[in-house]
Chains A and B, each alone.
Chain A
Amino acid sequence: MTFLAAAGGDHAATVFIEIGAVAVALAILARLAGRLGITTIPFYLLAGLAIGKGGLAPLDVSADFISLVAEIGVLLLLLTLGLEYSADELRKGLRAGFVPGAADAALNFTPGFIAGLILGWHITAAVLLGGVCWVTSSGIVAKVLADLGRLANRETPAVLNLLVIEDLAMAVFLPVAAALVTGRDLAATIGTVAIAVVAVLTILVAAVGLGAKLSTWLTHGSDEALLLAVFGLTLLVGGLAQKLHVSAAIGAFLVGLALSGPAQARAGALIGPMRDLFAAVFFLFFSFQIRPHDLINALAPALVLAVVAGAGKLITGWVAAKHAGIGTAGRWRAGTALIARGEFSIVIASLGAGLHDGPHLGALAAAFVLVTAIAGPLAARMAGRARPRADLPSGTGSS
């Protein structure tokens, strides 16, 4: 009861008012985003800038609380990413998408990495920027394809398989990046990377056998029990991973991968709304820490990077679609659908928050995501319209 008494104080009242006001503002932004047909991430990032230091309406009291919620937001983002695909889909995706996946990594990681080096950053920060450039936002792609009615299109499996490959690549990249960030000397870094990779591979293999048992056990029982079990396991495994100096995010991702069957589907549906809530706070908190001044300085490099990395995704999609035997128009649609970066670029950038170049990395990542998350869906829309036959008089199509 002492806790309740303490929470009733004046401090709590201020926290409630601040957080309540921010949540209502985010709700309005989410509706606006829905109306405009774009994703919420750019809006949340801008809102974070507004309440940060030097923003329109700076908050100060609730920063501690918000940072904890934001950390949980990352875990839930990664959990749902892991939940998105079954082990079977991962295996098939890997087989079908190896060539496009390799092209994706080469064409999109490299520009970011080189840009980091050109900017004179430490190599770790450059690796993280490579990661920021690399990963397409699966959330934005799913929304764009559904909104444009392209889920049934024949180039869509190529696009989705590429996202599966990126997911698997992230399962290796995230712990390696996290190890690079925490490792003080070379030996320690190699040690942590080794632990990370072994842990990931073990769980990926175990996910097939052990995950099935776990999933069967979880399936019986109420929604409430399942929600608590999955949330608890996520924090638990995430925390243990963090203790081993592997990022907590990757622990959460592996929990998602390990779940399968009906438990996977139900957990996905149950965690979804919770993820939306916590992840909104994460995006907010990420840009909350960015100085507007840094963001303005980052705009020019972000635009250049967006053009280069946008072209990278265009070629990736083109290659992937061609690989699947898709025609020219479909290749354009696949390429443009992949341009948008989002949640995972921000997750990767947030790993480097403590680095010397962290503030610059954060600002550049935010600007880059803002540009691509808005331009990507627009490009995808245009790629659907720019069909040569659209110029012909109507009625010729059905002859």
Chain B
Amino acid sequence: MPEIAETALPGVGVRHEFVTADGDRVAVLTHRSGRRELAIYDHDDPDACTAVLHLGTEDAHALVELLGGSHLSEAVVAVQQRIEGLSIEWVTVPKQSRFVGSTIADGAFRTRTGASIVAVIRGSTTVPAPGADYRFDAGDVAVAVGTPDGLSQLRALLSR
């Protein structure tokens, strides 16, 4: 993986850039609003951009999808493969679940199933390491780590 350089842009956001194997310089400028700009630099004047692509949050997601997923999910797969017996599962909290509106602590999921909820995906946002006071909404996706047995117990618990 090429080395990524980070530059702060006061008042605007942050810029990450790297040089591709072919020697092209590419940067992603992340505005504070979450808007992105994908910039490709000029060969003759390496300080200037030849092309700038403006991407909304949704556009950025679409581009990431096309380019083959994020490193995060790859890393998760790697962890899963490395530790024998440990699985990771995405469990949706359905509308009829009795845990809609209650907190992770209320459910006492780890005590009951041995599986830990390590993240919750709500719509397009992800809450990593949610606290015990995190409250579930219908449609939330809980990312849980545990034994395959524990995970199926968790899935059964959350769906009721």
| A interface with B by C-beta (< 8 Å) | 84-85, 89, 92-93, 138, 142, 149-157, 160-161, 163-164, 265, 326-327, 329-330, 333, 384, 387, 389, 397
Contact = CB atoms under 8 A, between A and B. Distances in A.
26 contacts: A84-B10, A85-B10, A89-B10, A92-B8, A138-B11, A152-B15, A152-B27, A152-B39, A152-B52, A153-B48, A156-B9, A157-B8, A157-B9, A160-B10, A160-B11, A160-B12, A163-B10, A164-B11, A265-B32, A327-B45, A327-B47, A329-B48, A397-B42, A397-B43, A397-B44, A397-B50
A330 B11 contact: no
B49 interface: yes
* A-B pairs with lowest CB-CB distance, top 6: A330-B47, A152-B39, A154-B47, A89-B10, A149-B52, A84-B11
A366 to B, nearest CB: 26
Contacts of B46: 154, 327
Nearest to A265: B32
A351 to B, nearest CB: 24
B37 A151 contact: yes
Nearest to B12: A151
Contacts of B49: 149-150, 152-153
A390 to B, nearest CB: 10
A160 B9 contact: yes
A152 B47 contact: no
Contacts of B159: none
Nearest to B13: A151
Contacts of A142: 11-12
Contacts, number: 72
A80 to B, nearest CB: 11
A85 B15 CA distance: 16
A326 B47 contact: yes
Interface in B81-128: none
B39 to A, nearest CB: 4
B29 interface: yes
A161 B12 CA distance: 11
A293 B120 CA distance: 67
Given A157-B7, A387-B44, 10 more contacts: A84-B10, A85-B10, A138-B11, A152-B15, A153-B49, A164-B10, A327-B45, A330-B47, A333-B48, A397-B42
A149 B10 CA distance: 17
A263 to B, nearest CB: 13
Contacts of A151: 9, 12, 29, 37
B47 A163 contact: no
A89 to B, nearest CB: 4
B29 A152 contact: yes
Contacts of B15: 152, 157
B29 to A, nearest CB: 5
Contacts of B29: 151-152
Contacts of A138: 11
A272 to B, nearest CB: 12
Contacts of A157: 7-10, 15
A163 B44 contact: no
B70 to A, nearest CB: 22
Contacts of A150: 48-49
A321 B84 CA distance: 54
Q: Which of B11, B44, B45 has the most CB of A within 10 A?
A: B11
A288 to B, nearest CB: 30
Nearest to B43: A397
Nearest to B52: A149
Contacts of A93: 10
B47 A85 contact: no
Interface in B4-55: 7-12, 15, 27, 29, 32, 37, 39, 41-50, 52
Nearest to B48: A153
Contacts of B43: 397
B42 to A, nearest CB: 8
B124 to A, nearest CB: 18
* Residue from A138, A152, A327 having most chain B Cβ neighbours under 10 A: A152
Query: Counting chain B CB atoms within 10 Å of each CB, which of A89, A138, A153 scores highest?
Result: A153
A152 B38 CA distance: 8
B47 A329 contact: yes
B90 to A, nearest CB: 28
B133 to A, nearest CB: 14
A330 B9 contact: no
Nearest to A145: B12
Nearest to B15: A152
Central interface residue in B12, B46, B47, by most chain A CB within 10 Å: B47
A266 to B, nearest CB: 11
